[in-house]
Amino acid sequence: MEVGLIKSFLKKALLGKGRKIRKMPVGLFAGLKLSVDPSSETSLWLGLYEAELTPWLRKAGRQARSVVDVGAGHGEMTVWALRQPGVTRVLAYEPDEARWPFFWANLQANGLDRDARLLGVKDFLTPERARKELASLPEPVLLKLDVEGAERKILQQLEGLLGEKEFWILVEVHSAAIRDETEARVRNCGYRVQPIRRAWWRWLLPERRVLDFNQWFVAEKIRGG
């Protein structure tokens, strides 16, 4: 039997198979009920998916009063945000409408689908929406951007707001050029930028990625900046 088939067999035998709502055992999402197939989403199930971000997100989650989840996917981050005790408003944007049923299923599983703090799930964060929907959010605002190449455009749209309000910013970038440009843009708005390095153990437990270039950076407002 090939190594890949052996690994697949062991995953299904040890973790179970099939997508259904399961209670997450460990990691950032521990205790949340999410739609997951452990045999194919092993790192998410084991709390290892983007685990490098967990310490920063926990810190930001304790501070934030609002969360903006741009590139919400199946809504894992939105569910987590609504579980943070100090959060009073959550905005979610996901352009792929095929993911919306999973998004709402995850919220419903946690009793959050009718939570008044969630201002719905929408497709695109346009300049008009940026000004109208984000300007009145209580501060600090935790902003997560995972938009596979549109980081530059969205941060350009938000540039004025970044200078006016206090954000905690998490951005995933997919090219070195976009990383350098977006980091500089955020710095110019008065933020301290910190790259998030991949954990040393990723050589043993790598993440499956569609895009070849995947890096993160986070940013916090410089007090008095």
pLDDT of 207: 67
Say if 25 falls within a structural domain. no
d(CA 138, CA 88): 8
Radius of gyration of the chain (CA): 18
Contact at 8 Å (CB) between 170 and 95? no
pLDDT of 69: 96
Q: Indicate the residue type of 66.
A: S
Say if 3 falls within a structural domain. no
For the chain, the domain total comes to: 1
Find the domain containing 193 and state its range.
Answer: 51-221
pLDDT of 113: 94
Contact at 8 Å (CB) between 223 and 60? no
What percent of the chain stands above pLDDT 70?
88
Confidence category of residue 147, pLDDT binned at 50, 70, 90: confident
- Section 92-120 average pLDDT: 94
The conformation of residue 206, written as its DSSP 8-state character, comes to: P
Confidence category of residue 39, pLDDT binned at 50, 70, 90: confident
Say if 160 falls within a structural domain. yes
What percent of the chain stands above pLDDT 90?
56
Say if 32 falls within a structural domain. no
pLDDT of 3: 38
- Section 170-195 average pLDDT: 93
**What CATH number does residue 140 fall under?**
3.40.50.150
Per the listing, tokens 């009063």 go with: 65
pLDDT of 82: 98
Both structure tokens of 34? 């999410």
When the pLDDT of each residue in the chain is averaged and rounded to a whole number, the result is 86
Say if 105 falls within a structural domain. yes
pLDDT of 211: 58
User: Which of 23, 192, 173, 168 is CA-nearest to residue 81?
Assistant: 168
Contact at 8 Å (CB) between 100 and 78? no
Say if 216 falls within a structural domain. yes
CA 141, distance to chain mean position in Å, is 14
Say if 40 falls within a structural domain. no
pLDDT of 224: 64
Both structure tokens of 201? 């153990």
- Section 80-100 average pLDDT: 95
- Section 139-153 average pLDDT: 89
d(CA 20, CA 113): 17
Say if 104 falls within a structural domain. yes
pLDDT of 16: 56
